[in-house]
Amino acid sequence: MDFSYTIFILLIPITTFLLLGFFYNRIKPAVSGWIGVTALTIVAGLSYYTAIKYFFYTPKLEGKYQTLYGIKMNWMNFTDKLHIDMGILLDPISIMMLVVVSTISLMVHIYSRGYMDGDRGYTKFFAFLSLFTFAMMGLVVATNLFQIYIFWELVGVSSFLLIGYYYEKPSAVAAAKKAFIVTRFADLGFLIGILLMGYYGGSYDFGILNNPEGAAIMNWASSSFMGLSVITWALLLMFMGGAGKSAMFPLHIWLPDAMEGPTPVSALIHAATMVVAGVYLVARMFPMFYFVEDGYALHVVAWVGAISSLIAAIIALTQYDIKRVLAFSTMSQIGYMMLALGVSKFDGHEGLGYMASMWHLFTHAMFKALLFLGAGSIIHAIHSNFMQDMGGLRKYMPITHITFLIGALSISGFPLTAGFFSKDEILAAAFEHNKPIYFITLFVAGLTAFYMFRLYFSIFWGKKKEYEHTPHESPWSMKFPLMFLAFMSVAAGYISFSEMVTADRAIFHIHFDFVGAAIAVSVGLSGIALAWFFYKKPTDYPEKISTAFGRFYTWTFHKFYIDELYLFITRTIIFKYISGSFAWFDQNVVDGSMRGIGNKTVSFSKLIKGLQSGKLQDYAVAFAGGAFILVLIVLYVL
Amino acid sequence: MNISNFLVMRHEIILLVLILFMLVLEVFTTTKNKKKLINVAIGLFLIHTIIGFFPQETASLFGGSFKTYGLVHFFKNVLNFGVLIILLQSADWLRDKVAAYNKIPEFFILLFSSLLGMYFMISSGDFLMFYIGLELSTLPLIALIAYNSHDQRATEAGIKMILSAALASAISLFGISMLYATGGSLYFESIATSLHESNLAIFGMVLFFAGIGFKISLAPFHFWTADVYEGAPTQITSYLSVISKGAAVFILMIILFTVLPVLNETWKIVVYIVAIATMFTGNLFALRQQNMKRFLAYSSIAQAGFMLMGIINADELGISTVVFFVLIYIFSNLGAFGVVQAIINQTGKENMEDYKGLYRTNPMLSLVLLLALFSLAGIPPIAGFFGKFFLYTAAAQKGYFILVFIAVVNVTISLYYYLLPVRAMFLETSENPIPYFKSKNMMRAGLLLTVVGVLILGLYSPLYGYIVELSKNIINPDLLTYLAK
């Protein structure tokens, strides 16, 4: 089967970016919007065609899906063994991601034509969206660690640009910077992990590394560092990069702030695609995570996922900014995907967690993008992000209301929605392999239903507010994506994922467990019922509860002060004490003579005198002293 | 001297002729016509650069004190290319500013002399030639640093440079004499086999290292850097930070690998310590700089620390990664300095404050600076990233993971300050931004070359393969087997 046409999936968005980026002064906004939408329609079409061709018409090898390459070329030979390739890797998860990214990106493009209408940087916005789409597509089809790292950073850069899109707002600039720095810090781990993997695993190529009988996996025990295999260290460091991108505890602090970006961007990047890159990375390296050192690294993944999902769900209960509630909800759901991967095994039905994680990734992309776009529609109408400013909107915005309800039901795991099916499989996988995590997951399911319906009731029901301008329904360009995604938020549950995306690539059939499903559904429903009781009509219960929790509520409201902790470390320790003292030295010792020159009142002769008597000697002392200290170190210390 | 010798010393002889020609022209040109000399000099240098690209055989002259082989030839071309870009970028400055005090031809004579010194330095086959080359490359530079003798800052920078350089020369000469005392020869090839590990030899090696570390501005031999970079004319600053540093790194690497392999256990420790010190010094000082030239000075100190990471590999891989990195660094840094220079020429502004809102008024200039800074910061997929990644791999290959870790931490720190000008240009607004201006064609060509260089090095991979080919067989395999015994 020939898949070489898949190169166009990458070429079209980058061309669009270059076209819109270079000529953004000359292209009319309306035209640029259409260029973006058309390009993405073609990309989405190609992705769907590839998916159909791969899953239904490409013969399997011994009952398993094969790994195919659209393109694979040698790009740089580093040493005889290590070389860097660029290419397009096609296997079930990369094709699934192609479908997810292109679908959501297309919907966001269409939506943005309405949402960003009249914005000064309209064309620039579409250019950035294309850049992001290109980077994300390149990331998912990467054939090796090096390629994934390049696109990984490119995704980070385009996310930085889009968060800081409203650059007049200082908070947006600060948020963009924060996101960039935090994820860069995490990527530091990723890069070292890649280097370790290249050296000890002997390759960057996924095909070679992930081969269960290959050298990288078989020889994991050959070298160790601090009681763990070096390969395990490499995997953990790579997971650190993934945790940064996917906003896992404790590297999640950038995600809520990233909500400063335009809402369509939040839907595309910070809900559906970029933030799941970490999950994708673990899934991509799954055989390594699973086989090396009996899945030690995978165990860490499971617990980081579980803790993140719990913490995020608790914080989401107390937030008032609707986009931040959704942001914490995203973090919580990604935690689900991580823990599902973490508890998974490899063969057949044992690999249920892997399948469930990928399925949840798919359904979550649909319903979370829907919820964000719905929130965007509301913000567009009300011009506020805070739920205190909202209420009784169901009358004014019927389509937004219905679609938002579908999204909320789906994320809460209401029976027969997509979220119900995928979440149920995650719970089943956790139940089979790790009981403590199962109970956390179940608890989070209840919390999720509660905070989503707290959001829903306060926006669409509750007290009717006096609005300055009567809110009205959004234009069709915004309603259509909402309706399509609402459809997908139900329909995605009926795709038989276990026949397509599995850990060992062989298909299996899910045994539907009624008891487990009943427990999960009843927990979800009680969450919804509680929210109904609290928020359908304005009551004083929420206030009573928050007073009852007292200190804990305050902690939660302030997101457990994790941001403040980081600020203390960076600002006080690094900037004030370390960098501050360096700056003092530079200003007073090194720069002192320079400032003397700036002072015009000092006569020239005096100045020369000042130079000769002072600083140069210091330099000379440092020079000679440094050389002699080096000699002493080399000769006597070592 | 027969014709084949001419071919071997092609670079040196043509450049020398150029220098003499400029001297003669200077005498016979009236003050009014001196501005025309700028175009003449740049044109002649362009021809020289092109001639340099013709292939050359491996050869040695003067009983082995002058050597040339593929990599040296390649590196001379790289230096030529860098100098060409600097000349293009300086044309405006010479025409508008320097013409006022009538010192145009001298600029070229001094700059070419310094470059000639570098040729001899990197082609040297014994310590005598090396030292002569080193001095020849440094002394004209001092005159160039204090070129604008009406400017107090420049004069002060010149004084600082001359004293620091004298100290560095003295120390490295002292080191060389110790190596001579233990090795019994000045010729690289004989030292390589006759030198034995002794305290005196180690002492000599460290002092030699310190002397050349001054040129590369490695910590703790870097103190002159920021003052001189800030005080000197910007074109000379970029020459110092790029050409001078690149050549010194190259010859340091060649001498350590081929002349002092006996001491490799020891110099690896020195390189290790100095690399870490240099990276941290450069980065932590750069964090709070407001002056763009000073900022780039510290950034270039930090970059030198990275280069040492490749040297520690002490193998062919080390050579090729360092040369590749230097190549990328030359283009990226010249891009950054070029923009700074264009702005200084037009407005005299050199503080980061002044760059606020530059993207609105001068989009092309800010894009060039963006690309250059991203390359210096090592953001993929821009060239600088590959350069750094290869250096990490070179160090990691020999198991220096702690060094790699420190380097990666430093890259993350550096990202913060490289983004400061970017933020100022693209995200912040100013009530008094630098107004739009149109650079002259020469300046544009100079900037365009850096952009093309950065893009090609990032995307066109075979160049790295070519450097790898050139790096083979530089370390004498017989010597290695001899040492193994």
pLDDT at residue A610, rounded to an integer = 38
At residue A386, does pLDDT exceed 90?
no
pLDDT in tens, B418-468: 888 887 887 777 777 788 888 888 888 889 999 998 888 877 767 887 888
Check residue A603 and give its pLDDT: 40
B254 touches A: beta carbon within 8 Å: no
The least confident of A78-82, B280-284, B300-304 is A78-82
Over residues B256-276, the mean pLDDT reads 88
Q: What percent of chain B has pLDDT over 90?
A: 25
- pLDDT category of residue B334 using cuts at 50, 70 and 90: very high
Q: Quick: pLDDT tens for A27-78.
A: 787 788 888 899 999 999 999 999 888 888 888 887 788 888 888 887 777 6
Confidence of residue A579 (pLDDT cuts 50, 70, 90): low
**Span B88-144, pLDDT tens digits:** 988 888 887 776 667 788 889 999 999 999 999 999 989 999 999 999 999 999 999
Output the 3-class SS for chain B. CCHHHHHHCHHHHHHHHHHHHHHHHHHHCCHHHHHHHHHHHHHHHHHHHHHHCCCCCCEEEHHHCEEECHHHHHHHHHHHHHHHHHHHHHHHHHHHCHHHHCCHHHHHHHHHHHHHHHHHHHHECEHHHHHHHHHHHHHHHHHHHCCCCCCHHHHHHHHHHHHHHHHHHHHHHHHHHHHHHHHCCCEHHHHHHHCCCCHHHHHHHHHHHHHHHHHHCCCCCCCHHHHHHHHCCHHHHHHHHHHHHHHHHHHHHHHHHHHCHHHHHHHHHHHHHHHHHHHHHHHHHHCCCCEHHHHHHHHHHHHHHHHHHHHCCCCHHHHHHHHHHHHHHHHHHHHHHHHHHHHHHHHCCCEHHHHCCHHHHCHHHHHHHHHHHHHHHCCCCCHHHHHHHHHHHHHHHCCCHHHHHHHHHHHHHHHHHHHHHHHHHHHCCCCCCCCCCCCCHHHHHHHHHHHHHHHHHHHCCHHHHHHHHHHCCCCCHHHHHHHHC
Identity of the residue numbered B291: N
- Higher confidence at residue B8 or residue B13? B13
**What pLDDT, in 10s, does the model give residues B67-89?**
888 888 899 999 999 999 999 98
Integer Cα distance of A2 and A467 in angstroms: 58
Using the 8-state DSSP alphabet, how is residue A78 labeled?
-
Q: Is the dihedral of CA A54, A59, A64, A70 positive or negative?
A: negative
Please report the residues numbered 368 through 407 in chain B whose beta carbons come closer than 8 angstroms to any beta carbon of chain A. 379-381, 385-386, 389-390, 392-393, 396-397, 401, 404-405
Least-confidence region, from A302-316, A542-556, B341-355: A542-556
Angle, helix B152-183 to helix A604-613, in steps of 10 degrees: 20
Q: What pLDDT is attached to residue A598? A: 37
Radius of gyration of chain B (CA): 22
Q: Is pLDDT above 90 for B228?
A: no
Answer whether A574 touches B (CB < 8 Å).
no
User: Cβ–Cβ of B465/A76 closer than 8 Å?
Assistant: yes
Instruction: Assess whether pLDDT exceeds 70 at residue A148.
Output: yes
Band of residue B16 on the pLDDT scale cut at 50, 70, 90: very high
Closest Cα in chain B, distance from residue A571 (Å):
13
Q: Is A582 on the interface with B (CB under 8 A)?
A: yes
Q: Would you state the pLDDT for residue B119?
A: 92
Per-residue pLDDT at B399: 79
Tell whether A583 lies on the interface with B, counting CB pairs under 8 A. yes
| Domain spans, chain B | 3-484
Decide if pLDDT at A584 tops 70. Answer: no
Best residue in A17, A73, A78 for a mutation probing chain B (most B CBs within 10 Å)? A78
Q: How confident is the model at residue A468 (pLDDT cuts 50, 70, 90)?
A: low
Tell me, what's the pLDDT at B84?
A: 93
B209 vs A618: CB contact, 8 Å cut-off? no
Q: Report the range out of A139-153, A557-571, A590-604, B407-421 with the highest average pLDDT.
A: A139-153
The answer, yes or no, to whether residue A280 has pLDDT greater than 80, is yes
- Tens of pLDDT along B181-225? 988 888 888 888 888 888 888 889 999 999 999 999 888 888 888
**A606 contacts in chain B (CB < 8 Å):** none
Chain B nearest CA to A68, separation (Å): 25
How far is Cα B336 from Cα B356, in angstroms, rounded to an integer? 16
Sorting pLDDT into bands at 50, 70 and 90, what band is A566? low
The amino acid that residue A12 corresponds to is I
B127 in contact with A, Cβ within 8 Å: no
| Between B284 and A486, the higher pLDDT residue | A486
Average pLDDT over residues A530-556: 70
> Which among A104, A7, A6 is positioned nearest to A58, based on CA atoms?
A6
Residue A171's pLDDT is what?
Answer: 79
Q: Give the Cα-Cα-Cα angle A276, A279, A282 (nearest 5 degrees).
A: 150
Residue A512 has pLDDT above 60, yes or no: yes
Per-residue model confidence as pLDDT tens digits over A335-372:
999 999 989 888 877 888 888 899 999 999 999 999 99
Inform me whether the pLDDT recorded for A284 exceeds 80: yes
Out of A1-10, B108-117, B319-328, which region has the weakest mean confidence (pLDDT)?
Answer: A1-10
pLDDT at A42: 92
Across the range A398-423, mean pLDDT stands at: 87
Q: What is the pLDDT of residue B274?
A: 92
* Nearest-by-Cβ selection for B273 from A185, A622, A633: A633
C-alpha dihedral sign at A522, A527, A532, A533? positive
Using the predicted structure, report yes or no on whether residue B255 has a pLDDT greater than 60: yes
The per-residue DSSP string of A420-473 comes to HHHHHHHHHHHHHH-HHHHHHHHHHHHHHHHHHHHHHHHHHSSSPP--SS---P
Question: Cβ A634–B209 below 8 Å, yes or no?
Answer: no
- Contacts with B221 from chain A: Cβ below 8 Å: 622-623, 626-627
**What do you get for the CA distance between the two ends of chain B, in Å?**
41
Does the pLDDT value for residue A590 go beyond 70? Answer: no
Q: Is the peptide bond before B435 cis (omega within 30 degrees of 0)?
A: no
* Predicted confidence (pLDDT) at residue A147 exceeds the cutoff of 80: yes
Q: Which residues of B touch A86 (CB under 8 A)?
A: none
- pTM beyond 0.90: the answer is no
Residue A542: the pLDDT is 67
pLDDT given for residue B116 in this prediction: 94
Chain-centroid distance, C-alpha A116? 23
Instruction: State the average pLDDT over residues B310-315.
Output: 85
Interface contact A597, partner B, CB < 8 A: yes
Res A615 pLDDT > 70: no
Average the pLDDT over A412-427 and give the result.
86
Whether residue A120 is predicted with pLDDT greater than 50 in this model: the reply is yes
User: H or E stretch including A569?
Assistant: none
Alpha-carbon distance of A412 to A522, in angstroms, equals 11
CA–CA gap between residue B11 and residue B20 (Å, rounded): 14
pLDDT for residue B138: 92
Q: How far is B220 from chain A (nearest CA, A)?
A: 6
pLDDT at position B429:
74
- Provide the CB-side half-sphere exposure for B151 (13 A, CA): 18
A124 at interface of B, judged by CB pairs closer than 8 A: no
For an interface test with B, which of A185, A582, A636 has the most B Cβ atoms less than 10 Å from its Cβ? A582
> Closest approach of chain A CAs to the CA of B408, in angstroms?
6
**Contact flag B274-A630 (C-beta cutoff 8 Å):** yes
A240-249, A615-624, B420-429: which is most confident? A240-249
In angstroms, rounded to a whole number, what is the distance separating the alpha carbons of residues B131 and B144? 20
| Residue among A448, A442, A462 at smallest CA distance from A532 | A462
3-state secondary structure of A241: helix
Looking at A165-174, A492-501, A611-620, which range is the least confident one? A611-620
Q: How far apart are CA A247 and CA A67, in angstroms?
A: 29
| Interface with B, mutate which of A195, A225, A609, A633 (most B CBs under 10 A) | A195
| pLDDT bucket at A80, cuts 50 / 70 / 90 | low
Q: What is the mean predicted confidence (pLDDT) over A312-339?
A: 88
CB atoms A620 and B274 under 8 Å: no
* Alpha carbon of A14: minimum distance to chain B alpha carbons (Å): 14
B219 touching A, CB under 8 A? yes
The mean per-residue pLDDT over the stretch A509-527 comes to 80
A505 vs B207 pLDDT, higher one: B207
Alpha carbons A626 and A209: distance in angstroms, whole number:
46
Question: Does position B281 have pLDDT exceeding 70, yes or no?
Answer: yes
Give the pLDDT band (50/70/90) at residue A18.
confident
Residue among B207, B266, B393 minimizing CB distance to A78: B393
At a CB cut-off of 8 Å and minimum separation 6, what does A560 contact?
A311, A315
Q: Where residue A595 falls among pLDDT bands split at 50, 70, 90?
A: very low
Strand-pair partners of A250: none
Looking at every residue in chain A, the average pLDDT score rounds to 80
Rounded mean pLDDT, B413-417: 80
Residue B332: closest CA among B273, B384, B290, B260: B384
Query: Chains A and B: how many Cβ contacts under 8 Å?
Result: 153
